[in-house]
Amino acid sequence: MKEIPSPDKWFKEAKESENARLCGMFLLHNGTVRETAKAKVRLGDENTREVKGMYFSSDEEKVNAAISGAYAMPGIYYVRVWLNEGELKTGDDIMFVLVGGDIRPHVVDALQRLVAEIKTNCVIEKEIY
């Protein structure tokens, strides 16, 4: 498990960044390990067991490509991603994703797309029951 970043420090650094003057909004996603199985919340499978934790890993090259893709979106001027690794327990932080941009619709869309890209193509999550 990696050291958890400070959201306050991240916001401070983002607001001091070179492109901060272009940003009217910063939005932070903090994903955590939940006890409800993915199959239940995503697929509606009621026959799942309680999750005790997960094994989590990521592909740095794919994550960097996803970050580049976020920067290519309209109005996005700041992106920062932290991903945990190893065996995590319920309640542990999985990821922090911070996106800054010009207007709310651009930032919300970029954050949603970036988190989806990371979760779909850049990480491996294996639930522990």
Nearest to 23 by CA among 80, 107, 86: 107
Q: How confident is the model at residue 89 (pLDDT cuts 50, 70, 90)?
A: very high
Mean pLDDT of 13-39: 97
pLDDT band at 31 (very low <50, low <70, confident <90, very high): very high
In CATH, the architecture of 22-128 is Alpha-Beta Complex (3.90)
Structural domain boundaries in the chain: 22-128
In the Cβ-directed half-sphere of 5, how many Cα atoms lie within 13 Å?
A: 21
Question: pTM for the full model?
Answer: 0.94
Cβ-based neighbours of 88, under 8 Å, separated by 6 or more: 1, 33, 53, 54, 55, 56, 94
Over range 39-65, report the average pLDDT.
93
Q: Report the pLDDT value the prediction gives residue 54, as an integer from 0 to 100.
A: 98
pLDDT reported for residue 47 = 86
